[in-house]
Amino acid sequence: MPSSSADIRNTSLRLTLVTAVLMLGGCLSGPPAGNMPQGVSAIQVSADKQDLMWERAVAILNNYHFMVARESKIEGVIETEYRAGSNLFEPWHHDSVGYANRLESTVQSIRRKAIVTFQNSSPGLVTISVRVDKEIEDVPGLAANYEGGATFSESQLLDRNLDQVVGQAGASRWLHRGTDPALEAELMRQIQSAVIR
């Protein structure tokens, strides 16, 4: 049965309306989940609680298995060594916050370093801030750590180089990936909980 022009007009109007709603819905839905603010990365406490907060910060970094590399109360800095990011198969380590960070650490070598600073902001107040630097490994060449990687190819001449056969060609480079706001917020939340107690 042939359709009337009114039916065709109604159908095209409905399709246009549905398309417009779908297109506007993406703009009105808010920022994507990955761009949501993670929390504060600095708090102010009274100067008489500085020693308590310092000890609390060191204890929290130890709970996350960060080894303290440098600790100076005069400079107001606690700096850790780099630590390899925990992956999906290490749920007992909490330095990779969220599924996306754990997945990234599973498929790529990631390392993090935490820096907690204590600065006198005004008379009687100390500002505590947390920064977590994140780096990704950049291997300069193929790593011969696969099955058959230590065997000799028939197409190449036999070289009498007695150096180690297995391993990567050179030292790894680490590329700065910015900060890790999710871990910063989690560390700051735990440090801030000491103020409330």
Q: At 36, list the tokens.
A: 């949501």
Residue 161 falls within a domain, yes or no?
no
Structural domain total, the chain: 1
Mean pLDDT is highest, among 24-38, 89-103, 143-157, 177-191, for 177-191
Q: Which of 196, 175, 179 is nearest to 41 (CA)?
A: 179
Residue 58 falls within a domain, yes or no?
yes
Task: Please return the burial class of 42, using the count of CB atoms within 10 Å of its CB with bins 0-12, 13-18 and 19+.
Answer: middle
- Check residue 29 and give its pLDDT: 44
- Check residue 143 and give its pLDDT: 57
Percent of the chain residues past pLDDT 70, beyond the cut? 70
Question: What CATH number is attached to the domain comprising 48?
Answer: 3.30.530.50
C-alpha pair distances (Å), 111 with each of 55, 59, 161 = 24, 20, 34
Range of the domain at 92: 41-140+171-197
Q: Which of 86, 101, 65 is nearest to 179 (CA)?
A: 101
Comparison of pLDDT for 167 and 176, the residue scoring more? 176
In this predicted model, what pLDDT tens digit does every residue of 86-114 receive, in sequence order?
888 888 888 888 888 888 888 888 999 99
Task: Check if the beta carbon of residue 137 is closer than 8 Å to that of residue 58.
Answer: no
Residue 159 falls within a domain, yes or no?
no
Residue 156 falls within a domain, yes or no?
no
Residue 151 falls within a domain, yes or no?
no
Q: At 23, list the tokens.
A: 């297109």
In this predicted model, what pLDDT tens digit does every residue of 26-63 receive, in sequence order?
544 444 444 434 556 688 888 888 888 999 999 999 99
pLDDT at 144 over 60: no
Which stretch of 64-73, 114-123, 155-164, 169-178 has the lowest confidence by average pLDDT? 155-164
